[in-house]
A and B are shown apart, each in its own frame.
Chain A
């Protein structure tokens, strides 16, 4: 059998992507960003207005670590929403399973951390597989509602404190006596920061590898046209279950790191609001892109924390009450920005850059001939 190479397609010049000045450097940019983030704790720069205190102060590092965790969570959620087109409203459940699972195994059962973490991530993944197997029998909006209902069961279980395990409304502080010494105490916040960074790197790597693989192409096909995938002889149900399980496992791993950073579990992480904010993060950042969800997650958590400080600052307090009160609610600001984003930049933050280039190109005065 001879193979004949197809002639190369003639692509008009204006359609082929232009190579920018940076095209050689571009593949290495994530690596550079990773190195910068990794050595960030060694710098003592203070950025007034952006962070309280210098960058390597424990408070700032903890805030950064939480932002990184949520960047990773949003990237994992994007595997469902942006890349497979599944609108799940129950992703908080698997994150909460990671948080409470680790906390209960360490604090109540007295297991060493590595065993607890391993058991929790395995358990979270199995939970996602089981619940996904039921929920994926429905599609579209019904799927969203079923996942929402499952997550609500998790929230009820935690809040009602069955068997005295979860501590109910008050939450469950993590018992640190059995943990490795390097992860305990204010001075060791930097290690937790690195742990969070490692988690984010892991999630981005996994999502990147999955979406580049043949499975990832099937997932993208499911998002665009599910029937066509079925016609090709592939089983949509299985592929969706794989994505759902993987995303659930990644979320529970995020919960393991989160409980170490925050030092305990509180019931608000089981609420449906957390899933909704994951959705907001992904849409703000840019669904289906590699860096959009990460960016959205980091930015959302940062704003959520910092807008509280901004809301009580003098600049806002001096405004009339009609303005200052809503502005002191981070969720009001974020919700409004989100609605505007859905209308005016549907591709999220990552779609802004190409749009701006178009805009500047259009505004630039035409060349003289």
Chain B
């Protein structure tokens, strides 16, 4: 029983990581039709920003309030990079989908190389508070605190994004834009501001995933975003493009399947099962679990 609970909770931790990356991807794709390969870069910036701040920023550190400050710095850095990318690189190419994909591909190659050039290709130990290294006993399972932190953060982010989408004016614009962008433009609303906003939200969530993923894994390396990104893509397709709630469901399914199959089957089999799941979903329900609707 303890094993099952442990697997379920670590699977949910993984799901939380996927959700943090996928929610932004899904919103960006749903609203602006941009398949963002540079999303892994935002994650890397968040992770390295936190790592750098913990060592160099006055007041920030690996423990207590200092750690909160370091994470805040990392998230701010990731958000800033996301906004800059949208304004400088993506905006001139709107409605030219293939070119946008190509630019984000180039950005992901160059950005990861830049991180590697600045801080080296090797994984660096991540500064993390002592309590995240310990475990908590839940129904007889010893669950690492880092995973629990991820789950709590993902639930908070999910709640915040949903509240934002439902109760604010910009949330309304985004929801309407995902459903029918032309109509929103025709009503005289500048959707492009919403594009920037969505990029900022996605960048912040991905940077948070980078920082907390660093806590979870204990290390930070330039290529970390890339491997997470592929599973985040899968989560987005299974969940339905543009749906935050769909991403959350899909992330939970993918995380749990991966964790349980990897434990009870051979290592690596879970990853393959996830891709099999993707194929099944595409054949039976190509629009994903929730379809292209930004449900709030």
Within 8 A of A (CB), among B9-32: 29
Query: With a CB–CB cut-off of 8 A, which chain B residues contact A206?
Result: none
Main secondary structure of the interface of A (DSSP, over half): helix
Query: With a CB–CB cut-off of 8 A, which chain B residues contact A269?
Result: none
Query: With a CB–CB cut-off of 8 A, which chain A residues contact B97?
Result: 140-141
Alpha-carbon distance between A332 and B230 when the two chains are bound, in angstroms: 21
A65 to chain B minimum Cβ distance, whole angstroms, is 24
Cross-chain contact of B92 among A137, A283, A343 (Cβ < 8 A): A343
B40 to chain A minimum Cβ distance, whole angstroms, is 11
A141 contacts B35, C-beta separation under 8 Å? yes
B230 contacts A272, C-beta separation under 8 Å? yes
> Does A228 sit within 8 A of B, measured CB to CB?
no
Alpha-carbon distance between A160 and B271 when the two chains are bound, in angstroms: 11
B275 contacts A138, C-beta separation under 8 Å? no
- State which of B45-53, B58-66, B205-213, B278-286 sits at the interface with chain A: B278-286
> Does B180 sit within 8 A of A, measured CB to CB?
no
Query: With a CB–CB cut-off of 8 A, which chain B residues contact A159?
Result: 268
Instruction: Scan A335-346; emit 1 where CB is below 8 A from any B CB, else 0.
Output: 110110011001
> Does B148 sit within 8 A of A, measured CB to CB?
no
> Does A184 sit within 8 A of B, measured CB to CB?
no
Cross-chain contact of A342 among B99, B111, B279 (Cβ < 8 A): B99
A149 contacts B278, C-beta separation under 8 Å? yes
Alpha-carbon distance between A346 and B99 when the two chains are bound, in angstroms: 9
Instruction: Scan B109-120; emit 1 where CB is below 8 A from any A CB, else 0.
Output: 111111011100
> Does A351 sit within 8 A of B, measured CB to CB?
no
Instruction: Scan A283-294; emit 1 where CB is below 8 A from any B CB, else 0.
Output: 100000000000
Instruction: Scan A133-163; emit 1 where CB is below 8 A from any B CB, else 0.
Output: 0100110111011101110110011011010
> Does A276 sit within 8 A of B, measured CB to CB?
yes
A/B pair count, beta carbons within 8 Å: 120
Query: With a CB–CB cut-off of 8 A, which chain A residues contact B112?
Result: 331
Main secondary structure of the interface of B (DSSP, over half): helix
Instruction: Scan A148-191; emit 1 where CB is below 8 A from any B CB, else 0.
Output: 11101100110110100000000000000000000000000000
A283 contacts B102, C-beta separation under 8 Å? yes
Question: Quick one: given A146-B279, A157-B272, A339-B107, are A87 and B117 in contact (CB under 8 Å)?
Answer: no
B99 contacts A160, C-beta separation under 8 Å? no
Question: Quick one: given A142-B282, A280-B109, A328-B117, are A148 and B271 in contact (CB under 8 Å)?
Answer: no
Within 8 A of B (CB), among A211-234: none
> Does A30 sit within 8 A of B, measured CB to CB?
no
| Most central of B29, B266, B282 by chain A CB within 10 Å | B282
A329 contacts B103, C-beta separation under 8 Å? no
Instruction: Scan B80-108; emit 1 where CB is below 8 A from any A CB, else 0.
Output: 00000000010010000111011101111
Alpha-carbon distance between A176 and B99 when the two chains are bound, in angstroms: 44
Q: How large is the interface on B (under 10, 10 to 19, 20 to 34, 35 or more residues)?
A: 35 or more
Alpha-carbon distance between A37 and B268 when the two chains are bound, in angstroms: 45
> Does B267 sit within 8 A of A, measured CB to CB?
yes
Closest to B105 in A: A276
B114 contacts A137, C-beta separation under 8 Å? no
B98 contacts A87, C-beta separation under 8 Å? yes
A336 contacts B106, C-beta separation under 8 Å? yes
Query: With a CB–CB cut-off of 8 A, which chain B residues contact A137?
Result: 282-283, 286
Alpha-carbon distance between A149 and B286 when the two chains are bound, in angstroms: 15
> Does A279 sit within 8 A of B, measured CB to CB?
yes
Alpha-carbon distance between A248 and B35 when the two chains are bound, in angstroms: 24
Query: Which of A's residues lie within 8 Å of B, judged by CB?
Result: 87, 134, 137-138, 140-142, 144-146, 148-150, 152-153, 156-157, 159-160, 162, 272-273, 276-277, 279-280, 283, 325-326, 328-332, 334-336, 338-339, 342-343, 346
Name 29 A/B residue pairs within 8 A (Cβ), A-sorted: A134-B283, A137-B282, A137-B283, A141-B97, A142-B237, A142-B282, A144-B101, A145-B237, A146-B278, A148-B233, A149-B230, A149-B233, A150-B275, A156-B271, A157-B272, A159-B268, A162-B268, A272-B226, A279-B102, A326-B118, A331-B109, A331-B110, A331-B112, A332-B114, A335-B108, A338-B109, A339-B110, A343-B92, A346-B99
Query: 8 tightest A-B contacts by CB?
Result: A335-B110, A160-B268, A335-B109, A332-B113, A331-B113, A338-B106, A329-B113, A339-B106
